[in-house]
């Protein structure tokens, strides 16, 4: 079941409850995009592999202070590393949660963390941009923030990321890391030799999918040259690809913060960059053009 693959929590502003949102939505038979401009903005935080709600809550608090609705999503690490074909199920489940809470028509930005968050984001975007999908054109995406991503699928980097999610003894962590290394290595060989989908192909295609993302909205990249999991050159290559498509792209690159630790090391600069970007995305298109 998709609901077992991820955890999702929604925080509404204190002066607006989910029931009030539902009453407002039910007063309209059809909500057009222009009407969505007056709905409370939503920030969806897609967590990295191994992150917990308490980790995302620190980021969500930055947006909640401004009255934004926040949605925190964290995937099971097992699905991200060993069952990437199930991420699509989780994406469908996530869209169902938004629909149940009547916020699919609200202007929305994604705040995506690491390749784990990118995997979920990629599947969501695929669903809302596929005409045959029941979720086609379901969300009103106004912007995307990429924190420590995207990165090319490098086996050793994936193993490093996996080991950081484990809370076992050092020996056991290295043993599991070695098992993943063998699994990914064999998977990569099979993908090259066999014309079949064995479940992990989407993970290896992730970087290219993000670069070719059909969503046309401003994007902010937050990354570091000290990141040993997602390399700065990968992020910069993705930024160049997005710029070539004519998108508005902004970025901040640090030289001292580790993977998904930019907020921890630079809280004021990080928070201001995110809030300024969100404010522009949620305002008029003229303001977005000035990013």
The per-residue pLDDT for range 201-221, each reduced to its tens digit, is 444 488 999 999 999 999 999
pLDDT band at 245 (very low <50, low <70, confident <90, very high): very high
Please tell me the least confidently modeled range out of 21-35, 90-104, 160-174, 240-254.
21-35
Q: How far apart are CA 34 and CA 12, in angstroms?
A: 22
Which two tokens mark 228?
């040993």
Q: How far apart are CA 216 and CA 144, in angstroms?
A: 10
CA angle 265, 270, 271 (to 5 degrees): 120
The CATH class, in words, for 2-13+40-284 is alpha beta
pLDDT score recorded for residue 62: 97
pLDDT score recorded for residue 183: 63
Tell me the average pLDDT across 236-255.
Answer: 97
Q: How far apart are CA 187 and CA 200, in angstroms?
A: 7
Task: Say yes or no to pLDDT of 1 above 90.
Answer: no
pLDDT score recorded for residue 30: 40
Q: For residue 41, which of 286, 282, 239 has the smallest C-alpha distance?
A: 282
pLDDT tens per residue, range 54-106? 999 999 999 999 999 999 999 887 766 667 778 888 999 999 999 999 999 99
Tell me the average pLDDT across 129-149.
Answer: 94
Tell me the average pLDDT across 239-258.
Answer: 96
pLDDT score recorded for residue 32: 43
H helices present in the chain, as ranges: 18-26, 33-36, 53-64, 77-82, 87-100, 114-128, 155-164, 170-193, 201-204, 206-211, 232-244, 262-265, 267-282, 285-289
Task: Say yes or no to pLDDT of 200 above 60.
Answer: no
pLDDT score recorded for residue 28: 37
Please tell me the least confidently modeled range out of 75-84, 105-114, 154-163, 224-233.
154-163
DSSP calls for 10-78: EE--TT--HHHHHHHHHT-S---HHHHTTSPPEEEEEPPTT--HHHHHHHHHHHHTTT-EEEEEEE-HH
Tell me the average pLDDT across 241-257.
Answer: 96
Beta pairing, strands 6-11 & 69-75? antiparallel
pLDDT score recorded for residue 160: 64
Tell me the average pLDDT across 272-286.
Answer: 87
pLDDT score recorded for residue 207: 92
Cis peptide bond prior to 199, omega within 30° of 0: no
**Integer CA distances (angstroms), 159 to 162, 183, 268, 270, in order:** 5, 10, 31, 28
**Integer CA distances (angstroms), 51 to 58, 90, 155, 222, 289, in order:** 12, 16, 20, 18, 34
């Amino acid at each position: 079941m998709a609901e077992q693959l991820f955890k999702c929590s929604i925080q509404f502003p204190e002066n607006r409850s989910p029931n009030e949102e539902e009453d407002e939505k039910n007063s309209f038979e059809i909500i057009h995009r222009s009407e969505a401009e007056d709905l409370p903005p939503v920030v969806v935080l897609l967590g990295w592999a191994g992150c917990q709600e308490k980790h995302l809550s620190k980021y969500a608090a930055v947006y909640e202070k401004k009255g934004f609705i926040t949605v925190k999503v964290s995937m099971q690490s097992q699905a991200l590393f060993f069952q990437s074909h199930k991420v699509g199920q989780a994406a469908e489940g996530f869209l169902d949660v938004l629909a149940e809470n009547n916020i699919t028509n609200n202007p929305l930005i994604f705040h995506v963390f690491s390749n784990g968050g990118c995997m979920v984001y990629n599947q969501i975007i695929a669903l809302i941009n596929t005409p045959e999908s029941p979720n086609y054109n379901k969300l009103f995406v106004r912007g995307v923030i990429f924190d420590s991503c995207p990165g090319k699928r490098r086996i050793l980097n994936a193993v490093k990321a996996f080991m950081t999610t484990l809370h076992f003894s050092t020996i056991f962590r290295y043993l599991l890391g070695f098992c993943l290394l063998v699994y990914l290595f064999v998977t990569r060989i099979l993908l090259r030799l066999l014309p079949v989908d064995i479940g992990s192909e989407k993970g290896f295609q992730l970087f290219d999918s993000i670069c070719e993302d059909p969503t046309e909205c401003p994007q902010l990249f937050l990354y570091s040259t000290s990141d040993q999991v997602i390399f700065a050159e990968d992020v910069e290559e993705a930024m160049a690809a997005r710029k070539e498509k004519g998108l508005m792209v902004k970025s901040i690159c640090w030289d001292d913060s580790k993977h998904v630790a930019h907020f921890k090391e630079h809280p004021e600069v990080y928070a201001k960059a995110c809030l300024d970007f969100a404010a522009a995305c949620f305002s008029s298109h003229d303001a977005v053009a000035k990013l």
